Amino acid sequence: MEWTSINDELPPLKEDVLFCCQIDDTFTFISIGQYCGHKTEGNAVVMDANDSDDWEPCSHWMPLPKQPKHHKPKE
């Protein structure tokens, strides 16, 4: 998987994705959240972070990886 800049493509609306933000040549922590169609004043979009009641800026995003398959233990 590759990170996608919001300059190339916006995250899908209301779908969980991984995201981070580039601020002064440094990337912030990686989080999971949803894009709800709003932009910040700068070069970012607003993400509703799943681990917070607040929003976070996003400059790069990628889809979540697929969940692992459940395997039954061998007997």
Would residue 24 count as lying in a domain?
yes
Give the model's pLDDT for residue 37. Answer: 85
CA R_g for the chain: 15
Number of compact structural domains in the chain: 1
- With tokens 């700068």, the residue in question is 42
Give the model's pLDDT for residue 57. Answer: 84
Would residue 23 count as lying in a domain?
yes
Would residue 30 count as lying in a domain?
yes
Give the model's pLDDT for residue 38. Answer: 82
pTM: 0.78
- For 33, counting Cβ atoms within 10 Å of its Cβ (0-12 exposed, 13-18 middle, 19+ buried), the class is buried
Would residue 10 count as lying in a domain?
yes
Domain interval for residue 49: 4-63
Kind of pairing between the strands at 60-63 and 31-39: unpaired
Give pLDDT tens digits for 34-73: 998 887 767 788 888 776 777 888 889 999 998 888 777 7
Would residue 54 count as lying in a domain?
yes
Would residue 69 count as lying in a domain?
no
Q: What is the DSSP letter of 41?
A: S
Would residue 59 count as lying in a domain?
yes
